[in-house]
Amino acid sequence: MTGFLQRALDFAAANEKTAELTYKRWAQRAATARLKSILAELGAAECGHHEILLHVSPSEITPESAEPVKGAVIARLLVDIPIPTDLLSPSDIAAAIRREEVLAALYELLASLGGETASLFSSLAAEEKRHRQLLLTEFHAAEDTSFSQGCT
């Protein structure tokens, strides 16, 4: 189980870092102050998540008596997520939303293991869900005006 948990931590940290860099690049190119602010906020939050994950060890996530079957469930969540381009297109937003969904599901599963970090992972899951909702809201708001106009 420890191997699955380390893979999950590595996967989450790498995806948080990718999200951070993506949102920060998008913020630099955002044409509106509102979009720039939202993307900068997301980038800063993902940076914080990455830093937190670097300090979590598998032994803090679950007691030794955890169900081995959860390792297989964790493995199914470790999927490749497309890396968005710098265009901030609908497909880029969809990839970013997918990343938020996958990380939220992973964090909920890690929280359910009941280790020392259960509340931490519950909080991270809630944050990822909030990020997803922000992206969805911005995506739907931009459908009327062509989302690509949101960047310069």
pLDDT digits (tens, 9 = 90+) for 109-124: 999 888 889 999 999 9
Q: Which of 31, 27, 51, 35 is nearest to 134 (CA)?
A: 35
Confidence (pLDDT) at 152: 46
Cα–Cα distances in angstroms (integers) from residue 7 to residues 34, 53, 60, 107, 135, in the given order: 36, 12, 14, 13, 27
Query: Does residue 145 surpass a pLDDT of 60?
Result: no
Among candidate residues 102, 106, 136, 131, the one with its CA nearest the CA of residue 44: 131
Backbone angles phi, psi at 46, to 5 degrees: -65, -35
pLDDT band at 142 (very low <50, low <70, confident <90, very high): low
Whole-prediction pTM: 0.84
Please say whether the beta carbons of 24 and 94 come within 8 A.
no
pLDDT at 150 over 60: no
Fold of domain 2-150: Ferritin (1.20.1260)
Could you tell me which residue, 117 or 70, shows the higher pLDDT?
117
Residue 46 or 93, more confident? 46
What is the reported pLDDT for 32? 85
Reported for 68-73, long-range contacts at CB under 8 A and 24+ positions apart, including other chains, are 68/1, 70/1, 70/4, 70/109, 70/112, 70/113, 71/1, 71/3, 71/4, 73/109
